[in-house]
Amino acid sequence: MELYFLGTNAGVPTLQRNVTSVALRLLEERRSFWMFDCGEATQHQILRSPLRLGKLEKLFITHLHGDHLFGLPGLLSSRGYQGGIAPLTVYGPPGLKNYLDISLSVSQSRIPYKLEIVEHTGGLVFEDDSFKVEAGLLEHRIDSYGYRVTEKDSPGSLNTELLQSYGLKPGPLYGKLKKGENVTTEEGIVIYAAEVVSEPKRGRIVTILGDTRPCEGTLPLSVNADLVVHEATFAHDLADMAYQYHHSTARQAAELAKEAGAHQLLLTHFSSRYSNPEALIPLLEEAQMIFPETLLAEEFCAFPVYRRVLRN
C-alpha cells in the first residue's frame, strides 16, 4: 500500500505542479489502485507514471471545485480507449452524477465498461471483506469531504514447519487453525491455534482530507491514522488569508496530526505563490516544529504506508 501523487498544486496548474490528484496503490492487496480527486490533466500525469487506467477500481471526489474535478470526464473516456473493461465506481458529493451525465452525454463519450456513480453526504460509503471507506464533512466554501480508508485486520500466518512436524499436511485443518480453532490430528494430537498462528496483522489507516480550514470534522477522520494527507495551501504567516478562503496552513495541518495521534503527515495542495521546491521549505519547517513526522508531497513520488503498533 502506498500513495502516489499526480498533482499537488492548489487552484490552477503551474509549470512545476499540476492540480490535485493522488492514487492509493493497492497492488498487493487488490491488484488495483484507487484515486482521490481528478484535477485537469490528471490523465496526462498518469501517462508519465507507472499507473495504468485499466487497474483503476475506485475514484473518490472530495468536492466539486474544478481543480479537483475537471480531469474526470476525459479520464473516464480515455480509460475505455486504453482497454479498461473492469467496472469502475466513482464516489462524491451530490451534483457529481449530474456533472458527469451532462459532460459524457454532450461529448458523446463512449464508456465501454460498467460505470457506477455513488453520491453521498458522509458516513460509510464503501465496505467489503478487506476495506472500508468513511467520509466526513469538512469546512470549505462548498461541501467538501475527507475520506478515511481502513484496511481490516488480516489473520496471522501459519507456522507450517511446526505443523508439518506434527504430520499435518495442508488441507481443511489449516483453514480451521487460521480461524483460531483448535484441531485434532488423526493420531489424536491436539494442536492449539494460538501456538501455530502468529498475531493478526493490524490493518492500516489512510486519511485523505479535501479542502478545508480547521474544523471539528478533521479529527474523527484522522484519529490514529498511519498516514494523513492534509492540505497546506499557505504558510502560517498567511493564516488570516487561509481562513478567509476556507483553507489551512502547514502549521494547522501539523496541529491536527498531533492531536489525532497520527503516525505520519503529508502536506499537499500548495498555493502557486510557492512556485518552486525551495519556497515550500518554510511550510515543511513550521509543520515539523509541531509534528516532526511531516513530509511534503511530491508529484511522481511514492510514499509507502507502513504498519505500526497503536499508541497506548
pLDDT, one tens digit per residue, over 264-308 is: 999 999 999 999 899 999 999 999 999 999 999 999 999 999 987
Is residue 226 annotated as a catalytic residue, yes or no?
A: no
Averaged in consecutive runs of 10 residues, what is the pLDDT profile of the chain (312 residues)?
98 95 96 98 97 96 98 96 92 98 96 97 97 98 98 86 83 83 85 84 95 98 98 98 98 98 98 94 98 98 84 42
68 in a known ligand binding site: yes
The pLDDT score that the predictor gives to residue 309 is 60
Please classify residue 244 by burial: count the beta carbons closer than 10 Å to its beta carbon, then call 0-12 exposed, 13-18 middle and 19+ buried: exposed
- Identified catalytic residue from 37, 67, 143, 226: 67
| Residue whose grid cell is 509507502 | 304
The pLDDT score that the predictor gives to residue 194 is 85
- DSSP letters, 81-129, are HTT--S-EEEEESTTHHHHHHHHHHHTT----S-EEEEE-SSEEEEE-S
Helix 72-81 to helix 96-106 angle (10° resolution) is 60
| Residue whose grid cell is 467538501 | 144
Query: Position 40: which residue type?
Result: E
- 223 touches 261 (CB < 8 A): yes
246 in a known ligand binding site: no
Going from the C-alpha of 296 to that of each of 22, 39, 59, 235, the distances in angstroms are 13, 19, 23, 13
The pLDDT score that the predictor gives to residue 284 is 98
263 in a known ligand binding site: no
The pLDDT score that the predictor gives to residue 168 is 82
Q: What is the CATH number of domain 2-154+201-304?
A: 3.60.15.10
Q: Where are the domains of the chain?
A: 2-154+201-304, 160-196
The pTM assigned to this predicted structure is 0.90
Please classify residue 170 by burial: count the beta carbons closer than 10 Å to its beta carbon, then call 0-12 exposed, 13-18 middle and 19+ buried: exposed
129 in a known ligand binding site: no
The pLDDT score that the predictor gives to residue 265 is 98
pLDDT digits (tens, 9 = 90+) for 230-239: 999 999 999 9
Bridge-based pairing of strands 265-268 and 294-296 is parallel
Rounded to 5 degrees, what are φ and ψ at 208? -120, 110
65 in a known ligand binding site: yes
- 214 touches 256 (CB < 8 A): yes
